Amino acid sequence: MAKLPVQREGDEIGTDTAQPAIQPPTSRREFLRSATLFTATVAGLGGGLELLTRRPSGAGAAGSSAAPLGRVKRPLGPYDTSEAVTPYAQATTYNNFYEFGLDKSDPAQNAGSLRTRPWTVRIDGEVRKPQTVDIDTLQSWFPLENRVYRMRCVEGWSMVMPWMGFALAALIRRVEPTGKANYVSFTSLHDPAQMPGQRSEVLQWPYTEGLRLDEALHPLTFMALGLDGRALPNQNGAPLRLVVPWKYGFKGIKSIVQITLTSERPATTWALAAPSEYGFYANVNPAVDHPRWSQATERRIGEFSRRQTLPFNGYAEQVAHLYKGLDLRRNF
């Protein structure tokens, strides 16, 4: 594993200069840059970093139209937060999607190269009805719901996102889990031709994530196909991504091509990359710091002062029972 770089200002502090002074963490971006160089050296490969940061000529910002959202007009449902929604322009230009680069602005610049039609999703493993389904067919199976969720990134920033999609539980029930299904594993597209970041070994590709089956069946766990009433922009994970609002944002795997029910706990990308820093559970927890920075507060994108981070990102009432008896310090 790569040596940690010297502490310097992290990108999770955002671009505001008027931030209250906090301990500046070493950003994951800096960490990854050092890891990339390390990998490139060990493997004898060159140019990984350049590949990640190079912008293809002529690729404009994908889907970054600007209308601010403010408050959602429709009546709020039982799963919605009433907090002000993050402006669309920010939610679609300040992204993490390492398949398209390490900087927050890279996905909006580079994800135009992702083709989201035709697109199929393979659903298999411990299910009675394994199948490969076209994304438009999959979409037609479920009435689309709106969910306004908080999203807290492990880096210390947060947003409020108006997703459209369907509950993951509906999809899982449709394929009929067997008695051996304990976990759900998710896999993103692996196609370096479309995803320039995958030409570098900055992470193990494809990006994978996982949930326990009971977490996956929780009514808050959501598959997003849209944002703010429009199709999901590529940089936000088109055409299909996972949203688990009580967990750190890295659990929200983008551009999913495979969902596999398993009996054993699946390997997940960030836990493989840095197991002492990113756990399988990744429940938002202000009491358990990241080894290199505090998780007690967060910067809501668009706000100046930092706010307190809430246990389970404010969804404790709905989900804390899932973790009864589990030591959350060890199972971070």
Residues numbered 160-189 forming contacts with ligand MTE, rule: CB under 6 A: 188
Residues numbered 6-45 forming contacts with ligand MTE, rule: CB under 6 A: none
Q: How many CA atoms lie within 13 A of 150 on its CB side?
A: 24
Q: Which stretch binds ligand MTE (CB under 6 A): 41-49, 68-76, 126-134, 249-257?
A: 249-257
Q: Which stretch binds ligand MTE (CB under 6 A): 95-103, 109-117, 138-146, 165-173?
A: 95-103
Residues numbered 139-158 forming contacts with ligand MTE, rule: CB under 6 A: 153
Question: Is residue 253 close enough to count as binding ligand MTE by CB under 6 A?
Answer: yes
218 SS3 class = coil
- How far apart are CB 109 and ligand MTE at their closest, in Å? 13
- How far apart are CB 76 and ligand MTE at their closest, in Å? 21
- How far apart are CB 324 and ligand MTE at their closest, in Å? 27
- How far apart are CB 197 and ligand MTE at their closest, in Å? 8
Question: Is residue 196 close enough to count as binding ligand MTE by CB under 6 A?
Answer: no
Q: How many CA atoms lie within 13 A of 19 on its CB side?
A: 23
- How far apart are CB 131 and ligand MTE at their closest, in Å? 22
118: preceding bond cis by omega (within 30 degrees): yes
Sequence-distant contacts of 301-308: CB under 8 A, at least 24 apart: 301/14, 301/86, 301/90, 301/91, 301/94, 301/157, 301/158, 301/159, 302/86, 302/87, 302/90, 304/16, 304/18, 304/19, 305/20, 306/19, 306/20, 306/22
Q: What count of other Cβ atoms lies within 10 Å of the Cβ of residue 193?
A: 9
Binding footprint of ligand MTE on the chain (CB under 6 A):
95-99, 153, 188, 207, 236-237, 249-250, 252-255
